[in-house]
């Protein structure tokens, strides 16, 4: 038997969440005595197949076609369906990136496969069935999703599992996968793509997040936070209040109606700690809160707290880290 | 063109943290129930599309009698027609089952053009009903729509927010789109709307009213996934250690020491 893993990528690079998922698949497969089969869809993506082998795949199916050069949910779902038919896996995993979530859902829906979306942990029961742990009620309840039949499919949130070590000595087989796109011809036409990558780190993949709320007082109030983030290689996040006020774009929003994050370090600056915000960040390893109000609820979840003016504390913190990290 | 919005009654986000795991699945969660906040964006977009391109608006939901409240809110915002899909046989359906019920009801609405949903529900969080619905109807699906650029009789052009950027994509109609929070600012119902919603009749359809329904695909017995072991996330242990210092420099130095010792920087 096998575990099939969808490898999501962008601009020629595998996304970290893809390799994390592949690493977990390797662990599950070793328990089951299964093989791990990777799937790479795109154009001129063979190097990614070789990379997938270094991360633990035994075999990689490559759907390489000029027609697949840009992401299209339906064409990619057709490729995933073809891979499922070819591999006959008992478990299918994909990272819970925006594109991969759609591809997984379309393929699973068409094939009548049970799918657990946006999981944060995976395990096996005594009968070798997948147990998919996922937050529900917007992070306020954790549920384990169980499956009625095989195959069993799950999408996995970034940073749920460690990045596996790449072993260049590993060997495996790379096989072309032929995909018939006739069924979705004319369904979807990509007219353009505009990157929103500004060189800034995304809150979903960041090890450290420096986040601002109402206390930053305006768009320019995020500047000191950006400087601290730059020194730490961190992402800049925000509370809903700051986003709704138009001080920072929506992709930065952390919380119930934004992103759920779990960095190693979360620095909350001028964030009071409304329930909606806490639901999105309490899984962070260490939380630091900087707030003028010593009774702010954010201090209830913080490991370290500083009561004071963020416009004084944050720049001082930037200087201190810059000195400590030798920049 | 007919704009169909699929909505759901969910807990108010302010009270999500008060839902007890043992109550999940019960008829009454003991919290205020509202139109799923993500669905408000879909309702608003349907209304704006109607203003831009002309057409009719319909809101559809699956649920008990109380789910009428979600439809009421949609009508108060401006939606013209509603369908409540309610039957004991529907209970316990997973996303694919719910999608099948919605698909069969939508097929009965006559010619439909664009189907809109919220990004996901604030309770189930899977975001699977929308793609499932597209699959059941055999039509294209686009998620995370941040803008509807253009609409013709045969296609819709949208901007979709992917993780690395914005993709402009044209799909053929009919189609299902799920909208993101960036797409619009949902309106508050005005007095006229609220009055209209309170006087409106809300037709109910049951399994027997859906000729194409396959009962083997719906309900708890057909569900391919089930929730077990529901529990609250573990509380964060310990109390906050307040860092103090004679000067700001001393204070931040103390914090930096601790974070370096914790190996998080």
Strands B204-205 and B81-85: parallel
Q: What is the pLDDT of residue B14?
A: 87
Does the bond joining A127 to the residue before it have cis omega, within 30 degrees of 0? no
pLDDT interval class at A198 (50, 70, 90): low
B235 secondary structure, DSSP code = P
Give me the residue spans of the domains in chain B.
2-222
A302 secondary structure, DSSP code = -
Instruction: Please identify among residues 54-93 of chain B the ones whose CB lies closer than 8 Å to any CB of chain A.
Output: none
Question: A100-127: per-residue pLDDT in tens?
Answer: 999 999 999 999 999 999 999 999 999 9
Find out whether A224 and A314 touch, Cβ atoms under 8 Å: yes
Q: For every one of its 265 residues, what pLDDT tens digit does chain B have, with 9 covering 90 and above?
A: 999 999 999 999 889 999 999 999 888 999 999 999 999 999 999 999 999 999 999 999 999 999 999 999 999 999 999 999 999 999 999 999 999 999 999 999 989 999 999 999 999 999 999 999 999 999 999 999 999 999 999 999 999 999 989 999 999 999 999 999 999 999 999 999 999 999 999 999 999 999 999 999 999 999 999 999 999 988 877 789 999 999 999 999 999 999 999 999 9
Among A181, A202, A156, which Cα is nearest to A28's? A156
Give me the residue spans of the domains in chain A.
2-184, 208-324
CA distance A219 to chain B (A): 18
Mean pLDDT across chain A: 95
Mean pLDDT (whole number) for A152-163: 94
Burial status of residue B225 (CB atoms within 10 A of its CB: 0-12, 13-18, 19 or more) = buried
Q: Does A139 touch chain B (CB under 8 A)?
A: yes
Element at A198 (helix H, strand E): none
Q: Does A185 touch chain B (CB under 8 A)?
A: no
Q: Which CATH superfamily is domain A208-324 in?
A: TPP-binding domain (3.40.50.1220)
**How far apart, in Å, do the first and last CA atoms of chain A sit?**
51
Question: A259-297: per-residue pLDDT in tens?
Answer: 889 899 999 999 999 988 998 999 899 999 999 999 999
Backbone dihedral angles phi then psi of residue B214, each to the nearest 5 degrees? -105, 105
Q: How far apart are CA B108 and CA B156, in angstroms?
A: 22
Q: What is the pLDDT of residue A275?
A: 86
Among B258, B248, B250, B242, which Cα is nearest to A286's? B258
Q: How far apart are CA B55 and CA A285, in angstroms?
A: 51
Model ipTM value: 0.95
CATH of A2-184, one of 3.40.50.620, 3.40.50.2000, 3.10.310.30, 3.40.50.800: 3.40.50.620
Which percentage of chain A shows pLDDT scores above 90? 90
Other beta carbons within 10 angstroms of residue A160's beta carbon come to 21
Q: How far apart are CA A224 and CA A310, in angstroms?
A: 9
pLDDT interval class at A199 (50, 70, 90): low
Backbone dihedral angles phi then psi of residue A222, each to the nearest 5 degrees? -80, -15
| Residue for token pair 């954010």 | A298
CA distance B213 to chain A (A): 16
Find out whether B59 and B203 touch, Cβ atoms under 8 Å: no
Question: B98-143: per-residue pLDDT in tens?
Answer: 999 999 999 999 899 999 999 999 999 999 999 999 999 999 999 9
- Above 80 in pLDDT, residue A327? no
CATH of B2-222, one of 3.90.1010.10, 1.10.760.10, 3.40.50.620, 3.40.720.10: 3.40.50.620
Q: Does A162 touch chain B (CB under 8 A)?
A: no
Q: Does A75 touch chain B (CB under 8 A)?
A: no
pLDDT interval class at A223 (50, 70, 90): very high
Q: Does B41 touch chain A (CB under 8 A)?
A: no
CA distance A61 to chain B (A): 24
């Amino acid at each position: 038997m096998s575990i099939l893993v969808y490898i999501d990528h962008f601009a020629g690079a595998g996304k970290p969440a893809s390799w994390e998922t592949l690493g977990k698949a390797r662990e599950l497969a070793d328990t089951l005595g299964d093989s791990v089969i990777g799937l790479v869809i795109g154009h001129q993506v063979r190097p990614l197949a070789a990379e997938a082998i270094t991360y633990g795949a035994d075999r990689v199916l490559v759907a390489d076609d000029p027609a697949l050069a840009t992401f299209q949910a339906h064409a990619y779902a057709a490729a995933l369906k073809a891979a499922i038919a070819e591999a006959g896996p008992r478990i299918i995993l994909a990272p819970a990136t925006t594109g991969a979530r759609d591809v997984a859902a379309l393929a699973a829906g068409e094939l009548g496969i049970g799918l657990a979306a946006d999981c944060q942990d995976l395990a096996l029961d005594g009968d070798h069935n997948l147990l998919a742990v996922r937050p529900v009620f917007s992070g306020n309840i954790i549920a384990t999703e169980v499956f009625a039949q095989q195959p069993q499919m799950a999408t996995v949130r970034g940073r749920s599992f460690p990045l596996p070590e790449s072993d260049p000595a590993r060997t495996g087989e790379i096989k072309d996968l032929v995909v018939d796109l006739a069924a979705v011809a004319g369904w979807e036409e990509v007219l353009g793509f505009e990157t929103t990558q500004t060189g800034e780190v995304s809150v979903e993949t960041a090890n450290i997040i420096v986040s601002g709320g109402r206390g930053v007082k305006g768009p320019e109030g995020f500047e000191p936070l950006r400087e601290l983030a730059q020194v730490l290689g961190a992402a800049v996040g925000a509370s809903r209040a700051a986003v709704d006020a138009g001080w920072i774009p929506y992709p930065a929003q952390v919380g119930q109606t934004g992103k759920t994050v779990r960095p190693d370090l979360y620095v909350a600056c001028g964030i009071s700690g409304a329930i909606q915000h806490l639901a999105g960040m309490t899984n962070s390893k260490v939380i630091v809160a900087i707030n003028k109000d010593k009774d702010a609820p954010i201090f209830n979840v913080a490991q370290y707290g500083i009561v004071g003016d963020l416009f004084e504390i944050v720049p001082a913190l930037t200087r201190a880290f810059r000195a400590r990290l030798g920049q | 063109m007919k704009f169909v919005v699929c909505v759901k009654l969910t807990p108010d986000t302010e009270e999500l943290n008060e839902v007890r795991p043992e109550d999940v699945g019960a008829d009454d969660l003991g919290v205020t129930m509202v139109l799923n906040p993500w669905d408000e964006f879909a309702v608003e977009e349907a209304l704006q599309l109607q203003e831009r391109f002309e057409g009719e608006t319909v809101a559809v939901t699956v649920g008990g009698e109380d789910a009428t409240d979600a439809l009421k809110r949609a009508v108060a915002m401006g939606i013209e027609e509603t369908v409540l899909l309610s039957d004991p046989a529907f209970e316990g359906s997973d996303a694919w089952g719910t999608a099948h019920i919605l698909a069969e009801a939508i097929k009965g609405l006559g010619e439909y053009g664009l189907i809109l949903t919220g990004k996901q529900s604030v309770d189930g969080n899977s975001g699977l009903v929308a793609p499932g619905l597209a699959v059941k109807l055999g039509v294209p699906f686009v998620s995370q729509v941040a803008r509807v650029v253009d609409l013709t009789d045969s296609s819709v052009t949208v901007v979709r927010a992917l993780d690395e950027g914005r993709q402009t994509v044209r799909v053929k109609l009919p189609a299902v789109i799920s909208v993101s929070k960036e797409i619009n600012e949902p309106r508050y119902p005005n007095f006229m709307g609220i009055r209209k919603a309170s006087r409106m009749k809300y037709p109910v359809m049951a399994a027997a009213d859906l000729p194409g329904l396959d009962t083997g695909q719906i309900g708890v017995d057909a569900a391919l996934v089930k929730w077990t072991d529901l529990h609250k996330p573990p509380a964060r242990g310990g109390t906050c250690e307040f860092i103090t210092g004679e000067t700001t420099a001393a204070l931040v130095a103390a914090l930096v020491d601790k974070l370096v010792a914790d190996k998080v920087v």
